[in-house]
Amino acid sequence: MIQTKKTTAYTDQKMGTGGLRKKTKVMMQPNYFENFIQSIFNTIGDMSGKVFVVGGDGRYFNKIAIQKLIKMAAANGVKKLIVGQNGFLSTPAGSHVMLKNHTNGGFILSASHNPGGENGDFGIKYANETGGQVPTSVSDKIYENTKKISEYKIFESEDIDLSKIRTTKLGDMEIEIIDSVKDYVEMMESIFDFEALKKLFKSGFTMRFDAMNAVTGPYAIRIFEEILGAGKGTVTHAVPLPDFGGLHPDPNLIYAKHLVDFMYSDEATDFAGANDGDGDRNMILGRKFFVTPSDSLAILADNYHLIPAYKNGIYGVAKSAATSTAVCRVAEKNNLPCYVVPTGWKYFVNLMDSKRITLCGEESFGSGSSHIREKDGIWAILFWLSIIAATGKSVEEITRENWKKYGRSYYMRFDFEGLDTEVADKLMKDLEAKLPSLTGKEYGAYKVSQAAPFVYNDPVDGSVTKNGLVVDFSNQSKITYRLSGTGSSGATLRVYLERPEYKNLDKDTYEMVSDLLKIAMDIAEIQKRTGKTKADVNT
């Protein structure tokens, strides 16, 4: 039976860079989740004939939230939901299911790389018919609706059993429960040469994949261990747990330190990769070697011709403004356009849909292609394995060759976490006001050539987005400042440093950017304003 329930609006349901992300306990407040979902439905309007995909990364509150979502969809007149078995779908697998079935979009319940559990974070990624997260124009409308919501509709019924692959009904709505892994695996098989990868593992090549106790475990076991023959035990932390077993599922040098330590030990495998909570981020490691996400993107772009799906050519590449310029150097030499967008995967979607780009990526450990409209962690690892299989070279050799060919961008990100929101906002506002006065200023060997906010004019829909503040130096070095859009409380200031070099290719990254770090701290008065003498996380 359909019930209409009265509710009171919350005022904090504005989506950030990766959907709506909050503390799990905030999401679990009475009607909080329901209000947000109903506001999306209200924004869509007529729900008749609509088909959506639903899944999540298995974190705490997922099961309850998915049942609520199913019952609300039925009550709001949705025609059909396609739901991952047991409620599981990685973000890339979800995007693929959306595109494959020509749906109206979908919901991936995940706070991505943020920690899970009752005291962790929960999130909702809402995608439209593009298979990618909605543009700001749509999320703004949803936000307006969240502020005036007064009732929501829900179907009163028993929970739906999601454990079996089958088709069932709730009221008039059809529910198709699908294998969460199968479609994704088929897509990967259509992009990469799996026979070549099988040969690679047969030759004795070793790898470790860390699923960080999150959603990619079952995908990775199927692909790496069962199909490609990488051997049992290749996939670690393979069972998705509601609290990710206490791991912070962000595959970087800090939160996947256990994997980094392993790869710098004598037991190291030839290759290692890790994914985040919902499977869209990736980290690439070789023996005693870490590949920065910016370098990884440049290397993928330089080797697209080795992959069956891209061998006939790619349209172009794109990166976020905070990502290093390495990929654009590759693009330039290969006569490909290189677009620079604000942080947030949604900005790549228009470029893919209009066939302007094929490959794209970000410094935040995300890379992907137009096979879907989200970044894709396992895809990135298969891409790297394919380069290794085709060239017979190690991760380190491939990376060093790329530096020799195109130059090396020494690159680091420094995060100042847990800041008071007002302090952080004021820091950015005052810094922006100060930017024009910086041009021409000299800081030791560094001379400011330009300082301005990053402004993006979307070539497809004409929208204008301002995100981040950029200080460029005459030696091509760059400082970018921005506030994170994925936190669940307080503010995080991210400071991104890049120093391109064409001769000094074997230096220590931290040493190479330490002068820039001092300049960045100084220009933005970080210590004075935040009390922090150093960043909380360096990646």
Tokens representing residue 140 in the block: 């703004």
Q: Identify residues 474-503 at the interface with ligand G16 (CB under 6 A).
A: 484-486, 494
Among 36, 122, 345, 414, binds ligand G16 (CB under 6 A): 345
Q: Which of 76, 236, 343, 488 is the binder for ligand G16 (CB under 6 A)?
A: 343
Q: How far is the CB of 21 from ligand G16 (least distance, A)?
A: 8
- Within 8 A by CB and 6+ apart from 316, the residues are 331, 336, 337, 338, 339, 351, 356, 357, 358
Nearer to ligand G16, 230 or 247 (CB): 247
Q: Does 362 bind ligand G16 (CB under 6 A)?
A: yes
Residue 209 or 345 having the CB closest to ligand G16: 345
3-state secondary structure 387-398: HHHHHCCCHHHH
Task: Please identify, using beta-carbon distances, which residue of 17 and 409 lies nearer to ligand G16.
Answer: 17
Of the ranges 59-67, 307-315, 341-349, 470-478, which one interacts with ligand G16 (CB under 6 A)? 341-349
CB of 277 to ligand G16, least distance (A): 8
Strand-pairing partners, residue 285, are 272, 290
Residue with tokens 């809402």: 126
Contact segment (CB under 6 A) with ligand G16 among 145-153, 251-259, 274-282, 427-435 equals 274-282
366 lies in the binding site for ligand G16 (CB under 6 A): yes
**Binder among 80, 281, 408, 499 for ligand G16 (CB under 6 A):** 281
Q: Please tell me whether residue 113 binds ligand G16 under the rule CB under 6 A.
A: yes
* Contacts for 31 with CB less than 8 Å, ≥ 6 apart: 5, 7, 8, 152
- At closest approach, how far in Å is the CB of 18 from ligand G16? 3
Please identify, using beta-carbon distances, which residue of 388 and 526 lies nearer to ligand G16. Answer: 526
Binders in 117-176 for ligand G16, by CB under 6 A: none
Q: Which residue is nearest to ligand G16 (CB)?
A: 18
Overall residue count recorded for the chain in this entry: 539
Residue 18 sits in the site that holds ligand G16 (CB under 6 A): yes
CB of 398 to ligand G16, least distance (A): 24
Q: What part of residues 426-485 is at the interface with ligand G16 (CB under 6 A)?
A: 484-485
Only one of the segments 194-202, 359-367, 452-460, 527-535 lies at the binding site for ligand G16 (rule: CB under 6 A); that segment is: 359-367
Q: Please say whether the beta carbons of 224 and 193 come within 8 A.
A: no
What is the closest distance, in whole angstroms, from the C-beta atom of residue 253 to ligand G16 in the complex?
A: 16
In order of 28, 122, 315, 412, 532, the CA distances from 119 in angstroms are 11, 10, 44, 30, 25
Looking at the Cβ atoms of 126 and 345, the one nearer to ligand G16 is 345
- DSSP assignment of 461-511: T--EEEEEEEEEETTS-EEEEEE-SS-SSSEEEEEEEEEEESS--SS-HHH
CB of 212 to ligand G16, least distance (A): 13
Query: Would you count residue 344 as binding ligand G16 (CB under 6 A)?
Result: yes
Q: Residue from 13, 39, 42, 112 that binds ligand G16 (CB under 6 A)?
A: 112
* Total residues interacting with ligand G16, rule: CB under 6 A: 17
Can you read off the two tokens belonging to residue 167?
Answer: 């088709």
Residue 283's closest CA among 259, 307, 310? Answer: 259
The C-alpha atoms of residue 19 and residue 399 are separated, in whole angstroms, by 33
| CB of 488 vs ligand G16, minimal distance in Å | 11
Q: Is 231 exposed, middle or buried (0-12, 13-18, 19+ CB in 10 A)?
A: middle
Choices 143-151, 179-187, 362-370, 393-401 (CB under 6 A): range interacting with ligand G16: 362-370
Short-list 37, 40, 50, 106, CA closest to 77:
50
Name the amino acid, one letter, at 198.
K
Stretch that binds ligand G16, among 65-73, 273-281, 326-334, 523-531 (CB under 6 A): 273-281
Q: How far is the CB of 162 from ligand G16 (least distance, A)?
A: 24
User: How far apart are the C-alpha atoms of 55 and 63, rounded to whole Å?
Assistant: 10
Q: Give how far Cα 308 sits from Cα of 111, 188, 191, 192, 357, Å.
A: 33, 11, 6, 6, 17
Catalytic residues: 112
Buried b (16+ CB within 10 A) or exposed e, 38-49: bbbbbbbeebee
Interacting positions 202-221 with ligand G16 (CB under 6 A): none
To the nearest whole angstrom, how small is the minimum distance from the Cβ of residue 250 to ligand G16?
Answer: 8
Q: CB under 8 Å to 327, separation ≥6 — which residues?
A: 294, 297, 298, 301, 317, 319, 338, 361
Would you say 90 or 234 has its CB closer to ligand G16?
Answer: 90
Per CB under 6 A, the segment of 22-30, 138-146, 205-213, 361-369 that binds ligand G16 is 361-369
**β-strand partners of 236:** 210
Residue position matching structure tokens 């040969």: 199
Could you tell me if 282 and 380 are in contact, meaning their C-beta atoms sit under 8 angstroms apart? yes
With binding defined as CB under 6 A, does residue 17 bind ligand G16?
A: yes
Judged by CB, which is closer to ligand G16: 18, or 131? Answer: 18
Indicate the residue among 21 and 80 with the shorter CB distance to ligand G16.
21
Tokens standing for 427?
A: 């820091």
Min CB(114)–ligand G16 separation in Å: 7
Contact flag: residue 280 with ligand G16 (CB under 6 A): yes
Q: What residues make contact with ligand G16 under the rule CB under 6 A?
A: 17-18, 112-113, 276, 280-281, 343-345, 362, 364, 366, 484-486, 494
